[in-house]
Structure 1
Amino acid sequence: MTWSHLARRWRVLRQTCAPKLRFYSGQQTHSPPPWRPVSALDEWVERDIRPISLRQLTFFGRTLTESRLISSANYVRTELPTRIAHRLRDIQRLPYVVVANPHLSLVYELYYKAFERFRTIPEIKTLDDNDKFCDILRRTLQEHLVVIPKLATGVLECRELVPPDVLDDFMNTLLRARISRRVIAEQHLALTETFNSPWHFPGSQDRTDLNADFVGEVFLKCNAKEVAERCGKLTQDMMRQSSGSDKIPEISVQGHLEATFPYMLSHLEYIIGELLRNSIQAVSERYKGTSERPPPIEVLICEAPQHVILRVSDQGGGIPREVLPYLWSFNKGPHSKSHLQNLGQVPAMAATMQELSVSTKRKDADKETFRESSLDSLTSRPPNLRLGIGLPMSRVYAEYWAGSLELHSLEGYGVDAFLQISKLGNKNEQVTTRASIDAV
């Protein structure tokens, strides 16, 4: 079936279905998304996505010149509309009643406007062109901070209309793609900032060790011990503040404490922060009202030739049996209704750990590895507000750079979480789902 036939069917469905649609978000009616011409989209969907690795990002940014910066800008300029076009096509393939959901419809509109914006940007030839392009990037990144809560809310509201595995695959694909777009956009913004800094130019003595540790957004010396301790302290402070109790379990870090690797620091912080927060909540709740001191949460670091593995172990009683089958699902589970209500309190979300904490605390926690991001201070949410997407999001982050995240629950005792990270930085970003990769 051609896209012209689909366009006609879309228009017919709009006329017949739109007056009957009622949504679950408290709104009585909502205008469905307008039909868009597909000819421009078809051209970009036929283009292949060009994945990158951490090593490529590092190599490119290490010897930064004006021509390389402009080359980076043109890569982002053409890659963003290509990646957005593929996701727009994914949304168009959903049943009409799902796309017409007000939250998913908003995401569709945001994506299409961004697609139109980026595909019409002319070739970048000068540094002035690049500065204007960076302004567009920053504005788009900020506009799209609503995407995660809107996606999650829309998927939860449509959970009875589409099989759950279809919605989970859709959500995983869109979140991977979102991470990929933010990675290349944030990296280019950081490279531009580096290029414009006084210490970038030869002969300058102002370049510090802090800046030498970063190439754009890639932190070359991610130390697993330091990240675990820093995330642990911040998580303990957040949980102490939200619970009003000092009965917070200690965090013990053991193993290969010198293990380092190149990584996106915000990705790693988010994963470890979510794992530690879940463990602290479980242990605190289990020992609440008792005179016993809660047992510590153990973080074991294991360094292999190609990987670094972190095991986070707690004695919080394990994952409830009714929750376990839906651990990695965005749309199913016994608490989906409460998650839907909580998402209504989160208008924007960057999916970084720093949005849960005060920036000054994070800076003070470890001044040597703090790096300001364009996402800092743009969003905030209470750390005890459970949304049901922390673990699935953490797995998406882990698998994005060809790693993995697994949980093993020992009922009545606790949970062991295993995070595996590629140590060499030579794995391409995984912009499709694991199922799609396995099917190749």
Structure 2
Amino acid sequence: MRLYRALFRQARALIEERLDYYSQFNPSPLSMQQFTDFGENATISESFLFLKKELPVRLANIMKEFHLLPENLLHMPSVGAVRDLYRRSFMDLLEFDTGNTPNNTATLEKFTDALVKIRNRHSDVVMTMAQGVMELKDAHSINANTEANIQYFLDRFYMNRISIRMLINQHTILFGDSINTQNHIGCIDPHCDVVRVIEDAYANARFLCDQYYLASPELILTHHNADKNPVSVVYVPSHLYHMLFELFKNAMRAVVEHHGPASDTFPPVHVLLVMGQEDLTIKLSDQGGGIRRSLMDLLFNYMYSTAPQPAVSGLDTPPLAGYGYGLPLSRLYARYFHGDLQVTSYDGYGTDATIYLKALSSEANELLPVYNKTCQRQYSTPVQTHDWSSQVHSAMFIRPFSTTSRNKHEQKSS
């Protein structure tokens, strides 16, 4: 037992030493153009040489941030399970980044197999981490600083995960056993048919809506300034589908519940597709009653949902509703290649959700979290309080004089 403990401490010390080393380096963001050029021209050997350095750097940068999280959260079982998964994957990759690793066929095949294993190992990380946050909420009260730190970390943690899966998928699809039958470059479609993805996402969300409510709104799709038919962009179709499916689910649920499932007709969901010089814009508009302005800031908060949590409500939860991660994760997918997702609401009427994508693949660069002093300060800086009172704020900064106070003011002036 004593020997086991000594070996365990030695292994943990080695991991921390390597984490310190790799976290010194910034991850290297790639553009969509670089991804496609690399996918068309690079060899498996070149991909191996890049990834065996880059993947440990990306893992180390986010793993170091775990140390900055509140102690209570780190002690949650699910968070501990996620940390263990990342340690195992980090150690698996270190096996290939040694000076004596031969760059031969056997090593390349072993590396590809290791990437598949890592991807499968991390398949449930999103919900496991979500469970960890729920465990914390159930066990402890969370103050504003803790909530802000968790929100900041999860945005960076999930964005890091998206980027790592992107690298792994590119390598395993290009150089693994899967057969490319769609003329994609890895998981990237150089001619992604945006209309087709919109229609697929709508059809699948409508199927769920019909299953639960026995009704659903129609889709009206409008093009503007789209001189190419079909409208295409260099993009990852699965990322775009993820965003659109989430927005359609939210819109349909809002429309049907706002107007009542027994209604004879529902106002359609309008989608406007615009191709500009810099941006491809997709605006999805519904008449589902909108969202109160007091709740708008919560839309992109993790674990906030307008529907009951499935774990609590069981079979009565609509399949269109989720754990509250849909919008925050969709915005991360949009921002990953320097796009964005914005929501505007008209309380009592409906909601507009707008996806912005870079129209030019050379400008669509990865947005990656970096572990540095600025990041560390973010966790230690307390949430600032407002520098005016709520009463003054609600009165647009100036509280009007009452008749009595005005008379006194005039007397003093005279």
Distance 2:102 2:187 in 1: 22
**1:231 touches 1:272 (CA, 8 Å); kept in 2?**
yes
Matched, 1:216 2:186: yes
Distance 1:248 1:211 in 2: 31
Partner of 1:250: 218
Matched, 1:413 2:391: no
**2:278 touches 2:360 (CA, 8 Å); kept in 1?**
yes
Matched, 1:310 2:321: no
* Structure 1 position 343, deviation (Å): 11
Partner of 1:74: 49
Partner of 1:93: 68
TM-aligned CA distance change 1:309 to 1:383, over 3 Å: same
Matched, 1:259 2:238: no
Which of 162, 179, 197 is matched with 1:227 structurally?
197
Identity of counterpart residues, as a percentage?
Answer: 27
**2:269 touches 2:287 (CA, 8 Å); kept in 1?**
yes
**1:153 touches 1:340 (CA, 8 Å); kept in 2?**
no
Partner of 1:236: 206
Distance 1:74 1:432 in 2: 22
Which of 79, 86, 109 is matched with 2:84 structurally?
109
What do you get for the CA RMSD once the two structures are aligned? 2.7
Q: Which secondary structure does the structure 2 equivalent of 1:48 belong to? A: coil
Return the letter of the residue paired with 1:216. G
Q: Which secondary structure does the structure 2 equivalent of 1:189 belong to? A: helix
Which of 147, 153, 159 is matched with 1:164 structurally?
147
Partner of 1:56: 34
Matched, 1:432 2:399: no
Partner of 1:9: none
Which of 171, 176, 179 is matched with 1:188 structurally?
171
**1:124 touches 1:130 (CA, 8 Å); kept in 2?**
no
Partner of 1:397: 333
Q: Which secondary structure does the structure 2 equivalent of 1:174 belong to? A: helix
Return the letter of the residue paired with 1:165. A
Distance 2:261 2:58 in 1: 51
Q: What CA deviation, in whole Å up to 9, does each residue of 1:67-126 have, x standing for no partner?
A: x22110221122111111111110012232221111111111111111111112254612
Q: What CA deviation, in whole Å up to 9, does each residue of 1:48-72 have, x standing for no partner?
A: 21111111010111134xxx22110
Which of 135, 148, 165 is matched with 2:113 structurally?
135
* Poorly superposed stretches of 4+, deviation over 6 Å: none
Distance 1:429 1:158 in 2: 32
Partner of 1:298: 270
* Structure 1 position 325, deviation (Å): 2.5
* Structure 1 unaligned regions, length at least 5: 1-33, 198-206, 346-380
Q: What CA deviation, in whole Å up to 9, does each residue of 1:245-286 have, x standing for no partner?
A: 0x2101111113632110011110000000011001111112
Q: Which secondary structure does the structure 2 equivalent of 1:158 belong to? A: helix
Distance 1:289 1:332 in 2: 24
User: TM-score, structure 2 length as denominator?
Assistant: 0.78
Distance 2:300 2:311 in 1: 19
Equivalent runs, 1:365-404 vs 2, <5 Å: 383-404=319-340
**1:229 touches 1:253 (CA, 8 Å); kept in 2?**
no
TM-aligned CA distance change 1:344 to 1:135, over 3 Å: farther
Asked which structure has the greater CA Rg, the reply is 2
* Structure 1 position 226, deviation (Å): 1.3
TM-aligned CA distance change 1:234 to 1:389, over 3 Å: same
Partner of 1:47: 25
- How many residues of Structure 1 are paired with residues of Structure 2 in the alignment? 348
Return the letter of the residue paired with 1:145. S
Partner of 1:176: 159
Q: Which secondary structure does the structure 2 equivalent of 1:138 belong to? A: helix
Distance 2:329 2:305 in 1: 16
**2:339 touches 2:357 (CA, 8 Å); kept in 1?**
yes
Matched, 1:126 2:104: yes
**1:70 touches 1:124 (CA, 8 Å); kept in 2?**
no
